[in-house]
Structure 1
């Protein structure tokens, strides 16, 4: 398998962590989708990463689809429950974490996209997205409480998704002081960073 992505992307990082935890072999191909010479549309018509290209050449895209597929490839370290309320809980955590990243990226693009003039940028839009980030962090902290992991007592996709969101916020929004406001989230991220899958994929 070939994974097309960028080391700074939190969605790509989520897939890379799942592959590491599942002990799956793959080739990592870095791609800057914002570059004029990007070829990502040849594999993903949406022009996004991550994109997983199979041995036969067919592509799977969107991180949620990819990680669900990967979890079926090996019985090692099952990350997503197969059915019922437990499955819905893990997928809801993933949706919440992805939503943090979605909102954060929209805010960052509004503030930094080079093809937009300063006069065209909307602070109200940025504030709206960052409010979603702050509300979601509060919800994450409340949902985690004093539990060792987001969904029960073992690592699951919930923790991987949340860890990727928190790590990306530290990377791109260091001014957001979420660690002081939600110390249980900081404790979770610190614990996750002890795992090689997280340490080896720290965004850069």
Structure 2
């Protein structure tokens, strides 16, 4: 398998972490989706990473779709529960973490791609409100548990860790560590895993 992506994307990192936890072999193809020579549109018509190219040449895209598929390939390091309620809870954690990052990325694009006089403070404030609401919800849902779902590491923790890691990387001014020490505690625990150490955003 080949994974087209970048070293800074939190969604690509999520897939890479799952690959490592599942002990799956793949080749990482680095791509800049903003560059004129980007290769990902050849496989993903949306021009987004991550994009997984399978052995038969078929392409799979969207990180949530990819990680769900990868979890079925081997029983090693099972990350998504099979029971419907627990499965839905894990996927809700993933949606929450991804959604907070989605909003933060929109802010970053607004600030970096638009001239300052064309930027919308109201738009930025609205998206940052989603980021802070997402962090608050994640902290509330985590409580004092060692992992999102209790005592077991799951895809929920992968998504949470990738989201927090990217926010620390791109938005250090948010300061979620001080505001939500329980998130910082679980993030530090997750970050000790080789899958996270080897995929630090760059």
User: What SS class does the counterpart of residue 20 from structure 1 fall into?
Assistant: helix
Secondary structure at 1:60 match in 2: strand
Give yes or no for the alignment of 1:178 onto 2:172: no
Q: State the alpha-carbon separation in 2 of the partners of residues 16 and 176 from structure 1.
A: 25
Per the normalisation by structure 1, the TM-score is 0.98
Deviation, structure 1 residue 94: 0.2
- 1:36 deviates by 1.5
Instruction: Work out the CA distance in 1 between the residues paired with 2:90 and 2:37.
Output: 37
Q: Quick check: 1:100 aligned with 2:105?
A: no
Q: Deviations over 1:123-161 (max 9, x none)?
A: 111111011000110010010000010012110000000
Q: In structure 2, what is the equivalent of residue 19 of structure 1?
A: 19
1:140-188 CA distances to partner (integer Å, 9 max, x unpaired)? 0010000010012110000000000000000000000110000000011
Residue 152 of structure 1 corresponds to: 150
1:199 matches 2:180? no
Q: Alignment partner of 2:46: what SS?
A: coil
Q: Quote the offset at 1:40 in angstroms.
A: 1.2
Indicate the residue corresponding to 2:8 in structure 1: 8
Partner residue, 1:76: 76
Within the candidate set 162, 165, 170, 2:163 is matched to 165
Segments of structure 2 that go 5 or more residues without pairing to the other structure are none
In structure 1, what is the Cα distance between the partners aligned to 2:28 and 2:103? Answer: 26
Q: Once superposed, which parts of structure 1, at least 4 consecutive aligned residues long, lie more than 3 Å away?
A: none
Counterpart position of 2:48: 48
Measure, in 2, the Cα distance between the counterparts of 1:34 and 1:84: 39
Aligned length: 202
Q: What is the CA distance between 1:88 and its match in structure 2?
A: 0.6
Q: Which runs of 5+ in 1 are unaligned?
A: none
How far off is 1:118 after superposition? 1.9
**Alpha-carbon shift at residue 117 of structure 1 (Å):** 2.2
SS of the equivalent of 2:148 reads: coil
RMSD: 0.6
Secondary structure (helix, strand or coil) at the match of 1:52 reads: strand
